[in-house]
A and B are shown apart, each in its own frame.
Chain A
């Protein structure tokens, strides 16, 4: 019985210690925002590997999700002669929910896992320790540029995703299924507010924050063995996805009720 309590206490303390380490990393990443002169090349390189290389998967999945939404929505709406509402249905679901959430999930899988694995391998091969030996702060040199690049890229990716998705729904709805083009756009413009775009962007920024935070923390905190890296990468993707979905529910409840 005493042993059980001991285990519980141990787990709780581990959890709290992990949270504390994660917070420390987060704080130092935020305070070490890359400065314009020295941090700029590092930041640009990370934007390339985190943002530009994620572009293809974002565009392709945005296009197909938009097309599928239009196809399914049209099938239901046509029964009520309400296929004019296809535009706002697609645009609102993309801007409010699917754009930020699916982008965040893809981002966690495409960029977050890469961040975790890269930082974890740096730790396992003791590159981080050697940086410290040379009086280079790995938090400033490695973690901060990656964190800021992720925070910067994901909202842009989410906007691209929504735009491509709406374009895909236009392709299916207007070009293929024959919804009137003017009706499609005018009803969409009537129903979508600028506030929807702002709220979607707020969502995208918060998801970017948690996904990159989890990714860099898992990498920095991993057990420096090959097994530890693989475990850290998996749990980075899994935890980031779960947190994104949970956070999305909370944000939706706050924003749209």
Chain B
């Protein structure tokens, strides 16, 4: 009887500690994420707006990967975004372009991927893992847009 109680108490304490650890790691600040079935691409943007780590990357609305890291380039102070693309989508051309889009008017931001064409004669190949995507379009910042609009209005 006493043994059974001890086992249950041990189970309870382990569960409680597991709850704490998973709250700390998963909910507050995720630590480890398995990225086994994906490869990395990099992209440099002028402005990433409200993009976050783990935001989705979509091609025509289909999620093909997630953002795994965002940091600032040490030299030119531009944000570098690391894209985790799922292994099954490994045929993107080097002419691929990325733009930061918003789901809905005020929704979450994600990366829209426009898969370009592959042309051996022009020397446009397939993106290899760890390549940089050259063609990127920054996030649209609503305040800048309004500012431009007001500026163009005042010129008339």
A82 to B108: give the CA distance in the assembly, Å. Answer: 8
Are A156 and B16 touching (Cβ within 8 A)? yes
Are B55 and A188 touching (Cβ within 8 A)? no
B12 at the interface (CB under 8 A from A): yes
Are A183 and B23 touching (Cβ within 8 A)? no
Q: A44, A194, A201: which contacts B29 (Cβ < 8 A)? A: A194
B54 at the interface (CB under 8 A from A): yes
A182 cross-chain contacts in B, Cβ below 8 A: 54-56, 63, 66
Known: A41-B2, A48-B9, A187-B52. 7 other contacts (CB 8 A): A52-B8, A156-B17, A156-B19, A160-B16, A163-B23, A192-B28, A197-B27
Closest to B16 in A: A156
A51 at the interface (CB under 8 A from B): yes
B146 at the interface (CB under 8 A from A): no
- Cβ-Cβ contact count across A and B, 8 Å cutoff: 104
Number of A residues near B (Cβ < 8 Å) is 39
B53 at the interface (CB under 8 A from A): yes
Interfacial residues, chain A to chain B (CB-CB below 8 A): 41, 44-45, 47-48, 51-52, 55, 80-82, 84, 91, 95, 153, 155-157, 159-160, 162-164, 166, 180, 182-183, 185-190, 192-194, 196-197, 201
Secondary structure of the B side of the interface? helix
Secondary structure of the A side of the interface? helix
Task: Indicate the size class of the contact surface on chain B.
Answer: 20 to 34
Are B2 and A81 touching (Cβ within 8 A)? no
B6 cross-chain contacts in A, Cβ below 8 A: 44
Stretch at the interface among B87-95, B98-106, B122-130: B98-106
A156 to B18: give the CA distance in the assembly, Å. Answer: 9
A164 to B24: give the CA distance in the assembly, Å. Answer: 14
B34 at the interface (CB under 8 A from A): no
Are A81 and B106 touching (Cβ within 8 A)? yes
B59 at the interface (CB under 8 A from A): no
Interface string of B103-116 (1 = CB under 8 A from A): 11111100000000
Q: B12, B52, B108: which contacts A52 (Cβ < 8 A)? A: B12
- Answer whether A185 and B16 are a contact pair too, CB < 8 Å, given A44-B9, A48-B8, A163-B22: no
A164 cross-chain contacts in B, Cβ below 8 A: 19
